[in-house]
Structure formats: structure tokens, C-alpha cells
Amino acid sequence: MLRALRNEHGVSVQAVRASIKYAERQLEISRLLLRPELRAGAGRVFLERYGELIELSASGQLAMREVFDRHLARIEWDSRDIPTRLFPFVSASSPTDDRPIVIDPRIAFGRPVILSTGVSTSAIVERIDADESMEEVAADYDLDVREVKQALVYELAA
């Protein structure tokens, strides 16, 4: 395991030692290198725990900074640094930079809507649940079928 950490993942011996020390002292984990939750990449050592990655080689920092930054980038702020709009990810399993849905307190009382038209995602789902086709709903609201699908996926995930 040590050889794989060093050669395949570029983890230094110092980082491995720091990881083992942190795991033993702070997390009360012995034999870290034998744990199935151990992960490595880009010269760092991680432990998957409770659905989060803990970066052991950086004294237990949560390895969520990149994810956090991606979510923050989907918020629009006004000149007073007050958030005004949120563009939620449509699907957590395959997040993209698309922004088809917006949550804005000035539109539909802050309910999620399709950005291009302002139609609420719940209205779209209600019509689909009433056995209307995606094409019919798209035509009625002047949407692409893709936007209707995104509204459905968003509502199912929410």
C-alpha cells in the first residue's frame, strides 16, 4: 500500500506519516494503510468518512473546497454582497455548468423556475404527472424539451 501511495499517487513519505499520525490521534484509527476507506490522489491522502472526504495529509481538512467553490459560483450577488439568485445544480450525480433553473425571491416568490421563461418547475411536473407529453408541455410554455426534462430531474432530486 505504501508503494502504491508513493508511486501511483505521488504521495510523499512525509504526507503518509502525517496522515497516519492524524488518523491515530484525532480519529482513533489504527492501521490506516489497511482501511478500505483510504483514498489517495494528487499527492494527498484522504479518508472517506460519513459521506465526506477528509484530507488526512492536511490535518483533517475536508476535501470539499472544490465542490464548495462550484456551488458558490452558482450564486449571483448584488453590489452590497447580498445573494440575489441561485442557480441550483439540476442533478447531483452529474453536475454541469448549465443554468436552466433559477431561484430568485423576486420571481414566483422564490420558487424554482425555468430561467428562459419563468415557468415554475413544479407546474411542469404537475402537467407531466397529469399524463401530458413533454413535447406538449414544451410547446405550451415555449420551452425546449431539454428544459422540461431538466425541470423534471430537478423536482425529482429536490
Q: What is the pLDDT of residue 111?
A: 95
For residue 148, give its domain range.
71-157
Please say which residue of 63, 81, 104 terminates a domain. 63
- For residue 118, the domain's CATH number is 1.10.10
Q: Do both 79 and 119 map to the same domain?
A: yes
Q: What is the pLDDT of residue 35?
A: 82
- With the C-alpha atoms ordered 22, 42, 65, 94, is the resulting torsion angle positive or negative? negative
Q: Do both 92 and 150 map to the same domain?
A: yes
Please say which residue of 63, 90, 116 terminates a domain. 63
| Number of domain units in the chain | 2
Please say which residue of 63, 87, 107 terminates a domain. 63
CB atoms within 10 A of CB 151: 28
Q: What are the average pLDDT values for consecutive 10-residue runs of the chain, which has 158 residues?
A: 78 84 83 83 77 70 60 87 90 72 94 95 96 96 95 88
Backbone angles phi, psi at 82, to 5 degrees: -105, 130
